[in-house]
Amino acid sequence: MLAAVAALALWLAGNVRANARATNIPLSYDYLDQPAGFPIAGSSFRQTQSTWDAIVVGLGNTVRVSLAGIVLATIIGTFVGIGRLSANWLVSKAAQVYVELFRNIPLLVIIVFTYLAVFLRLPRVEDATTIDGLLVMSVRGVAVPWLRTDGRGLTVLALLVAAAVVAYAVARWRHGVADRTGQPAYAGVAATGAAVVVFAVGLVALGGPLDLTAPRLDDRRIAGGITMGIEYAALLSALVVYTASHIAEIVRGSIQAVPKGQTEAATALALSPGQRMRRVILPQALRVATPALGNQYLNLTKNSSLAVAISYFELTKITQVAIASRAPAVPSYGLLLLIYLVLSLVISAFTNAVNRRMALVER
């Protein structure tokens, strides 16, 4: 059988070479150094920059939308998953409908819908929907308040780090107090509070290097804040809505997978429902859920490639445009596949490492 596989591989390679020669398209990767010849909307990329630079921009966009998608989908999915188990019939049913609805509709349909039927329907810039100082929504994009530094960006960063260190120290201190006296630690609240205080004091002491700019409609421009392109917004919304429904099922399943006896033992020990969830159920549920969650994150990252349908310039779209601008197809796709493989491997390795660390210690 091995011989058959080898023969097949040789035949395919031979065909590729013959075809390449016939159509005069080189099979090398020289094209990466050539000027791209196409612009990338929504970025500062210029046509004269190399194709390789374009691909890097695409990779950056893929990572951007995937990371944001993973974070948002996990948050929303967890809430919906826990809501599905609520004793309140209305909440439980609503969660169920949400999950059953979006699990069964193809992602591409959702993406095309959010783009064409939702975000492209936003009003023109002149008539943008505004919430004073908070939101400016138009066909140009969604603008939200953003922070801007006056050049002392590094100092602000140092301040952030300092605040984080203080938060950690406060949390440790509160845990120590709790151990000694038995009173609840409230470490989270204390640490956050301390961090905020340190950061605020630092900002004032430095004379306010940080500025919150709110988006304003200024004639036909949007001044201030930061604007999210509608392609990005549409893709992100669709990815989040779809993946969250899968994550909700995983969360629900993992909580239900924790044996009933665990809840009973925790109840018999007079732990409150909150203590039960936090100390007994969720830690065990998380262990069950990790592989499945990792799989969903992998899927979300791969699904970001569906952006080709709506002109968001992530990796796949840029490759497609490059090929249309005369880059050779086979090497381009080869490179694309390679990059996705690497991304997959990275996410898988990360998931496996987390899984191993959390595995229940057994005989």
Partner 1 sequence: MTAVTWARANLFRDRRDAITTVVAGAVVGWVVFRLLRFAIVTGRWDVVRDNLSLFLVGRYPVDDQWRVVVALVAIAGVAGLVAGQIAGRRRRAAEAAGERLEHPGPAARIVEVVARDWPILGLVLLLLLLARTASPWLVALATIGAALLGRLVGALVPPAIGRAVFVLPVVLPIVLLPFLTGPLGWDSWGGLMLTLLLASISMIACFPLGMLLALGRRSSFPALRAVSVGVVEFFRGVPLVVLVLMSDVALGFFFPRDLLPGKVVRVMVAFTIFTAAYVAEIIRGGLQSVPRGQTEAAQAIGLSPVRVTGFIVLPQALRNVIPALVGQFISLFKDTTLVFIIGFLEVLTVADAVTKQPGYRGQGLITETLVFAALLFWVGSYTLSRESQRLERRLGVGHR
Partner 2 sequence: MTEPTTGPAPFADATQVSGTGDVVIELEGVDKLFGDFQALRGIDLRIARQEVVVVIGPSGSGKSTLIRCINRLEKHDAGRIVVGGVELSDDIRSIQGVRRETGMVFQSFNLFPHLTVLDNITLAPRQVRRMPRAKAEAEAMELLERVQIPEQAHKHPGQLSGGQQQRVAIARALAMHPQVMLFDEPTSALDPEMINEVLDVMKELARDGMTMMVVTHEMGFAREVADRVVFMADGEIVEVGTPEHFFTAPTEERTKKFLSQIL
CB 46, min distance to partner 1, A = 26
Residue 68 contact, options partner 1, partner 2, none, Cβ 5-8 Å cut-off depending on partner type: none
CB of 340 to partner 1, least distance (A): 5
Handedness of CA 40, 43, 47, 49 (dihedral sign): negative
Residue placing its CB nearer to partner 1 in the complex, 190 or 309: 309
> Exposure pattern of 117-137 as b/e (b: 16+ CB <10 Å)?
eebeebeebeebebeeeebbb
- H helices of the chain, where? 2-23, 51-84, 89-103, 107-112, 153-181, 187-205, 230-257, 260-268, 273-275, 282-303, 315-324, 329-358
What CA–CA distance (Å, rounded) separates 75 from 244?
A: 8
Cα-based distances in Å from 94 to 79, 239, 249, 285: 12, 20, 14, 23
Q: How far is the CB of 263 from partner 2 (least distance, A)?
A: 9
Of 15 and 183, the one with the shorter C-beta distance to partner 2 is 183
Residue (169 or 338) nearer to partner 1, CB: 338
Output the smallest distance, CB 269 to partner 1, in A: 23
Nearer to partner 2, 25 or 177 (CB): 177
Give contact residues for partner 2 (rule: CB under 8 A): 178-184, 259, 261-262, 264-272, 275, 279-280, 283-284, 287, 360-363
**Least distance CB 268 / partner 2 (angstroms):** 4
Binding footprint of partner 1 on the chain (CB under 8 A): 1-2, 5, 12, 15-16, 18-20, 22, 87-91, 94, 100-101, 103-110, 112-113, 116-117, 121, 302-303, 305-306, 308-309, 316, 320, 323, 329-330, 333, 336-337, 340-341, 344-345
**Out of partner 1, partner 2, none, which partner does residue 154 contact, by CB within 5 to 8 A per kind?**
none
In the bound complex, what is the minimum distance in angstroms from residue 20's beta carbon to partner 1? 7
Cα distances (Å, whole numbers) of residue 78 to 146, 253, 278, 359: 27, 11, 14, 21
Which one of partner 1, partner 2, none is in contact with 309 (Cβ closer than 5 to 8 A by kind)? partner 1
The two structure tokens encoding residue 245: 């429904």
Nearer to partner 2, 134 or 265 (CB): 265
Find out whether 316 and 307 touch, Cβ atoms under 8 Å: yes
Q: Exposed, middle or buried: residue 59 (CB in 10 Å: 0-12, 13-18, 19+)?
A: middle
